[in-house]
Chains A and B, each alone.
Chain A
Amino acid sequence: MLTPLAGTAADWAWLALVFPLVGFLANGALALRAPHAKRAVSVIGVGSVVAAFVVSVAVWFAVARGAPDSPHIVSLWTWIPAGPLRVELALHVDQLSALMLLVVTGVGSLIHLYSVGYMGADPGYARYFSYLNLFVLFMLVLVLGASFPVMFIGWEGVGLCSYLLIGFWYGDRANADAGKKAFIMNRIGDAGFILAMCLLWWQLRSLDYVVAFERADSLAAGGTIVTGATLLLFLGATGKSAQIPLYTWLPDAMAGPTPVSALIHAATMVTAGVYLVARCGVLFALAPLTSAIVAGIGVLTALVAATIALTQWDIKKVLAYSTISQLGYMFLGVGAGAYAAGIFHLTTHAFFKALLFLAAGSVIHALHHAYDATGRHDDPQDMRNMGGLREKLPWTFAVMLVGALALAGAPPFAGFVSKDGILATAFARGHDAPLWYVYWGIGIVTAALTAFYSMRLVRYTFLGANRTGEAERSHLREVPWVMTGPLVLLALLSVVGGALNLPAVLPRPELLARWLEPVTEAAHVPAVHLSHATEWALLGVGAVVALAAIGAAFVWLKPETLSRASQAPPATGIARVSFRGYFVDDLYNRAVVRPCVWLARRVLWRGVDDGVIDGAGVNGSAWIARGFGRIGSWLQTGQLGTYLTVFVLGVILVLWAVR
């Protein structure tokens, strides 16, 4: 099939996979052989992702120039041929995957660069970069895969890298636990993904996006099959993208190095679920019930996570719950059928949340350094040990402020524009189904909470008096340029990123939506219309809510009353409920994990296996066994020849008897 992209750089999209693959193998070999060759590791680790970025840019230009209506498929080899089921290992180049390529390799490059500084002193430096390169490889497979199974390679692959990197410092049991928890919770979602593939294959007889989506028309709109398939896919998305009910792994995932949290647990991997829904827009558009559930789960997760973020002291936990919350917004968007708006928020969020994590990393790095210098053991991630860092870390403060304002949805930062796009669509849907007004309302409330905790973070960290410690204060200093450089770039993107997709009432509007049109128009989503007046009003509401909550954070919060983490009283009452995340982890432990282990150990193993089958069944007739044993030992002359002779004689005897 000749597409406008044949013979262009799009044919070379596979090169974007080769570079990180080579990087992974080379750094993996170095990790085992020469873990101290840090310069080589840095060059390979960062270089491979930058090279992939260059390929991505070339692919993006090819797509921009060719402006294809249908995707360009790059077939590599036939992966799974089994009867009528044929899965090609093929790549899918279109506007959506080209955009995702840019986000993944662009933000990825910056985070790799930052890691050179952040992880420089770690003995596992080479291992770290090999995992990080492997992650980029799988993430690119995820967004480039031309079929569900190929996407699933990336889907589970990024989960593996997440597991490896969360437990990177595996000597500490809590870290290893967190990695395992992430993998298993993701697997619960993945089971849904697998079943969705089974269902879709039998219905559509293809798992290639192009063919499957074409044939999706044959499915009854709103029918059981498409609803079931999309719900199963969404189960996968709730695992990967940390939504209710499978979100509790993400806060624990903060056990990994901070650049990992930025890349995997904020900017890229956790957005895979949003990408999945957008990619399968054709199917989700046929399942209004699923779409409403997607949006509902999304907005509910956004609210719940935001209320938890309000009371966290660990700077990374604030950002982790914030990520869960922002992912909820994205699901509200794609659930509303606003695929472009969802992907837009995914993109801006990748900028400002990566920025926030990396900036938090700089703060942690500085505190860690200070505590190391004085030999005191205190938590370098607890905001109660911070305060007043504005003077010590001016660059970090500036970029973090930008990131926080973007997250808070303060105009004109990127987050303001992209959040507005989602909320506006939800509001417009309310015209037909009032439920969406409720979603919109929750979205607005969450926006206020978001702005509040963003500013709480900035205030407790950078403003007011410093609480790090008398001796430590003099050791606090700004991080090196390899770390601040990427921060500044991300800060710029967080400021201007909104221009990618301005609302219709502004000049040069909806660039991203128009870019994605060839992909999103295949999904027949009922159009939504908003009058200009309403759009302005919604923009105004969003701005006022954000600014009011920011103001409230400055009026209500009293950093001067804080005491250091080690001396602080534990939270009580409702603050404790929020701080402990509504005790959902405890609930899961008591209701699922422990009963499972108890069932397996006491009932199945000790009870059924040892007790019933072996006890009553096998050894209960132990005299038979003993009898056999005696005969066996009597026959056991050790001579195989005798054995065989007796055996053959016996058979012949039986044969004779039967006749």
Chain B
Amino acid sequence: MMSAFLDAVSYDRWVLHVLLLVPVAGAVAVAIGPARLAKRVALGVALLEFVLSAGLWWAFVPEAGMQFTSTAPWIPAWGIRYSIGLDGISLFMVLLSTLLMPLCVLGSWQYIEQRERAYYALLLLLTTGMIGVFVALDLFLFYVAWELVLIPMYFLIGIWGGGRRLYAAIKFFVYTMLGSVLMLVAILWLYTTVGRETGVYSFDYGHFLVHAPMAGRGGLWLFGAFALAFAIKVPVFPFHTWLPDAHVEAPTAASVLLAAVLLKMGTYGFLRFAVPFFPEIAMAPGVRTVILLLAVVGIVYGALVAMVQPDLKKLVAYSSVSHLGFVMLGIWALNVQGVQGALLVMINHGLSTGALFFLVGMLYERRHSREIAAFGGIARAVPLLAVVFTIVALSSIGLPGTNGFVGEFLVLVGAWAPYPWATAVAVTGVIFAAAYLLWALQRVFLNRLDAPENQQLPDLSLREKLVLLPLVVGIFWIGLYPRPVLDRMEPAARDFVRTTAHRAGAQLTGAAQTRVEP
């Protein structure tokens, strides 16, 4: 019934354009409208965006590969086109972004008191950027979207952030800029090389995909540039030190989006560009070893450092380093389980860590402190908040029945065959995850409720419940019945594995090759 309706309105022809346009239009409306309406308009636009995007769930055909595609000349002289499309890899990133936007607006409702118009306009602009990154099928367009994300985020941190916001914003900007400038150079180099060889100067994704091997020995440098840009974004150890600062200083909604969506732009970049363009390099034994090592080190390192953070927000930030390590491990497992696991961890981390940042923000709004030591025993004062925090923490720990388990389990199963030792080390991440989250949970919510200022903290308000409810539902839904999600991403994952393995062919040795499923 749903698909008949979507057909009737030619949903697939306009949806992506509209998803890119609505937030921009909304941003303009917010910026020029009256300040007191800013957040209401923003909420309306974000909800509209979510409702419009929800149709993708039904309209998406798992087996159809890249779909909702459309293309139009943009700067013809340079071979730049406005090309967009969606497949099983990008679908959930788009849905995750549109789901989180209304929650972020609601989550900022009281937190943001200054320059509301600018804040909400930037938030909406950021949405277009994020969706643009995930649907762009032209590398120039992709780069523009990539930078379009960077700019609003820079301002969100730098203007509405905490005490060291400028340091954090600049660190974030410089770090990311370093990577993206290298990526731009790589894109341009590839553009000219391919253009020279084929005579067709184009930024088209498909064109790059087919002809990227022409880069020859330069491929290693190109892959390196792409990989560095994405690795900083993920962030892969040791390029992660911008993350804790940015997270701690950013306002709640920016932290949520940073963790839930922006980090995924890095792993998405690996899945969409770095690996498919240069499979034989990405899967070369030396490169594989380096990536694997960094992924596993990140898992353990992130968890250990998270464990000793006195600042709750920083703890959550470091936990991202650990979780994203699982994504990298899953991608490089190069089998269906590993890649599907990686994609699922990307979604799960968005839900769970997004929720954790919301919760930390709610605690901060009550107590004006993120120091774990400032709390203690507050489960007695805020029982519902404690229950939700526990559920989210358990999902982050990967308790079976929650989403976290399904993703990590698939990654570990996938990674086991090619890399048993790396998997054995990675699995200690689940132990440390329990250690840092339960320890934090204890020091915040359990123990004695002794600080007088904690006695009368209010429990969750209706608005806060509305922010958290969708995330908690997602946690259990994907935990208990992930099939609709897995089914939608499986063909894309299989395609990625098959193409990469096929093209990397000669270089693939050992288990990774023999384990590729038919």
Complex CA gap A629/B171 in Å reads 9
Complex CA gap A599/B515 in Å reads 37
Q: Is the CB of A628 within 8 A of B78?
A: no
Q: Is the CB of A82 within 8 A of B431?
A: no
8 Å CB contacts to A: which residues of B327-350?
A: 335-337, 340-341
Q: Can you report 28 A-B residue pairs in the complex whose CB atoms are below 8 A from each other?
A: A77-B481, A80-B406, A82-B490, A83-B337, A85-B410, A153-B401, A155-B400, A156-B400, A163-B438, A167-B446, A171-B447, A171-B449, A184-B434, A187-B434, A191-B427, A199-B420, A201-B413, A201-B416, A600-B308, A609-B244, A613-B238, A614-B241, A618-B241, A628-B174, A654-B184, A654-B188, A655-B188, A658-B188
Answer yes or no: A188 CB below 8 A from chain B CBs.
yes
Complex CA gap A5/B177 in Å reads 65
Answer yes or no: B379 CB below 8 A from chain A CBs.
yes
Answer yes or no: A195 CB below 8 A from chain B CBs.
yes
Q: Is the CB of B412 within 8 A of A83?
A: no
Q: A80-B409, A596-B304 are in contact. List 4 more A-B contacts (CB 8 A).
A: A83-B337, A85-B413, A173-B446, A628-B174
- Distance from B247 Cβ to chain A, minimum over Cβ atoms (Å): 14
Answer yes or no: A172 CB below 8 A from chain B CBs.
yes
Complex CA gap A599/B78 in Å reads 53
Q: Is the CB of A600 within 8 A of B304?
A: yes
In the complex, which residues of chain B have a beta carbon less than 8 angstroms from the beta carbon of A89?
480
- Distance from B413 Cβ to chain A, minimum over Cβ atoms (Å): 5
Q: Is the CB of B78 within 8 A of A202?
A: no
Interface majority SS on A: helix, strand, loop or mixed?
helix
- Distance from B407 Cβ to chain A, minimum over Cβ atoms (Å): 10
A628: which of B173, B184, B191 is its contact (CB, 8 Å)?
B173
Q: Is the CB of B170 within 8 A of A604?
A: no
8 Å CB contacts to A: which residues of B364-388?
A: 377, 379-380, 383-384, 387
Which chain A residue has the least Cβ–Cβ distance from B121?
A640
Q: A195-B424, A613-B238 are in contact. Are A187 and B431 (CB under 8 A)?
A: yes
In the complex, which residues of chain B have a beta carbon less than 8 angstroms from the beta carbon of A659?
192
- Distance from B158 Cβ to chain A, minimum over Cβ atoms (Å): 9
Answer yes or no: B151 CB below 8 A from chain A CBs.
yes
Answer yes or no: A176 CB below 8 A from chain B CBs.
yes
Q: Is the CB of B410 within 8 A of A632?
A: no
Q: A597-B307, A654-B188 are in contact. Are A632 and B423 (CB under 8 A)?
A: no
- Distance from B262 Cβ to chain A, minimum over Cβ atoms (Å): 19
In the complex, which residues of chain B have a beta carbon less than 8 angstroms from the beta carbon of A84?
336, 517
A605: which of B305, B413, B438, B482 is its contact (CB, 8 Å)?
B305
Answer yes or no: A170 CB below 8 A from chain B CBs.
yes
In the complex, which residues of chain A have a beta carbon less than 8 angstroms from the beta carbon of B304?
596, 599-600, 604
Contact size class for B? Answer: 35 or more
Complex CA gap A77/B479 in Å reads 13
Q: Mark A592-631, 1 if CB is under 8 A from B, else 0.
A: 0000110111001100110001100110000011001100
B435: which of A163, A184, A198, A601 is its contact (CB, 8 Å)?
A184
Answer yes or no: A567 CB below 8 A from chain B CBs.
no
Q: A149-B409, A197-B413, A629-B170 are in contact. Are A85 and B337 (CB under 8 A)?
A: yes
Q: A82-B336, A156-B399, A600-B308 are in contact. Are A609 and B241 (CB under 8 A)?
A: yes
In the complex, which residues of chain A have a beta carbon less than 8 angstroms from the beta carbon of B143?
651
In the complex, which residues of chain A have a beta carbon less than 8 angstroms from the beta carbon of B420?
198-199
Q: Mark A101-130, 1 if CB is under 8 A from B, else 0.
A: 000000000000000000000000000000
Complex CA gap A163/B481 in Å reads 25
8 Å CB contacts to B: which residues of A160-189?
A: 160, 163, 167, 170-173, 176-177, 180, 183-184, 187-188
Task: Report A's interface with B, CB cutoff 8 A.
Answer: 31-32, 77-85, 89, 149, 152-153, 155-157, 160, 163, 167, 170-173, 176-177, 180, 183-184, 187-188, 190-191, 194-195, 197-199, 201-202, 596-597, 599-601, 604-605, 608-609, 613-614, 617-618, 624-625, 628-629, 632, 640, 643, 647, 651, 654-655, 658-659
B308: which of A79, A197, A605, A640 is its contact (CB, 8 Å)?
A605
- Distance from B230 Cβ to chain A, minimum over Cβ atoms (Å): 18
Answer yes or no: B439 CB below 8 A from chain A CBs.
yes
8 Å CB contacts to A: which residues of B476-500?
A: 480-483, 486-487, 490, 493-494
Answer yes or no: B428 CB below 8 A from chain A CBs.
yes
Q: Is the CB of B400 within 8 A of A157?
A: yes
Interface majority SS on B: helix, strand, loop or mixed?
helix
Which chain A residue has the least Cβ–Cβ distance from B31?
A640
Answer yes or no: B67 CB below 8 A from chain A CBs.
no
In the complex, which residues of chain B have a beta carbon less than 8 angstroms from the beta carbon of A599?
304
Q: Mark B175-213, 1 if CB is under 8 A from A, else 0.
A: 101000000100011011000000000000000000000
Q: Is the CB of A82 within 8 A of B486?
A: yes
Answer yes or no: B442 CB below 8 A from chain A CBs.
yes
Complex CA gap A614/B164 in Å reads 16
Q: A180-B439, A629-B170 are in contact. Are A171 and B377 (CB under 8 A)?
A: yes
Centre residue among B170, B308, B336, B420 by max chain A CB count within 10 A: B308
Q: Is the CB of B438 within 8 A of A183?
A: yes
Q: Is the CB of B438 within 8 A of A184?
A: yes
Q: A160-B394, A625-B171 are in contact. Are A643 and B151 (CB under 8 A)?
A: yes
8 Å CB contacts to A: which residues of B393-411?
A: 394, 399-401, 405-406, 409-410
Complex CA gap A194/B406 in Å reads 12
Complex CA gap A178/B300 in Å reads 24
Complex CA gap A85/B482 in Å reads 14
Q: Is the CB of A170 within 8 A of B379?
A: yes
Answer yes or no: B15 CB below 8 A from chain A CBs.
no
Answer yes or no: B120 CB below 8 A from chain A CBs.
no
Complex CA gap A624/B486 in Å reads 45
In the complex, which residues of chain A have a beta carbon less than 8 angstroms from the beta carbon of B486?
80-82
In the complex, which residues of chain A have a beta carbon less than 8 angstroms from the beta carbon of B417?
202
- Distance from A479 Cβ to chain B, minimum over Cβ atoms (Å): 29
In the complex, which residues of chain B have a beta carbon less than 8 angstroms from the beta carbon of A156?
399-400, 405
In the complex, which residues of chain A have a beta carbon less than 8 angstroms from the beta carbon of B413?
85, 197-198, 201-202
- Distance from B133 Cβ to chain A, minimum over Cβ atoms (Å): 16
Which chain A residue has the least Cβ–Cβ distance from B447?
A173
Q: Is the CB of B337 within 8 A of A194?
A: no
Q: Is the CB of A32 within 8 A of B383?
A: yes
Complex CA gap A197/B413 in Å reads 8
In the complex, which residues of chain A have a beta carbon less than 8 angstroms from the beta carbon of B377?
170-171
Q: Is the CB of B483 within 8 A of A600?
A: no
Answer yes or no: B147 CB below 8 A from chain A CBs.
yes
B438: which of A180, A198, A201, A600 is its contact (CB, 8 Å)?
A180
Q: Is the CB of A81 within 8 A of B483?
A: yes
Complex CA gap A149/B387 in Å reads 26
Q: A85-B337, A191-B428, A605-B305 are in contact. Are A624 and B423 (CB under 8 A)?
A: no
In the complex, which residues of chain A have a beta carbon less than 8 angstroms from the beta carbon of B442?
167, 170, 176-177, 180
Which chain B residue has the least Cβ–Cβ distance from A193?
B427
Q: A191-B430, A632-B170 are in contact. Are A170 and B336 (CB under 8 A)?
A: no
Top 6 closest pairs, chain A to chain B, by CB: A83-B336, A198-B416, A600-B304, A170-B446, A601-B308, A176-B446
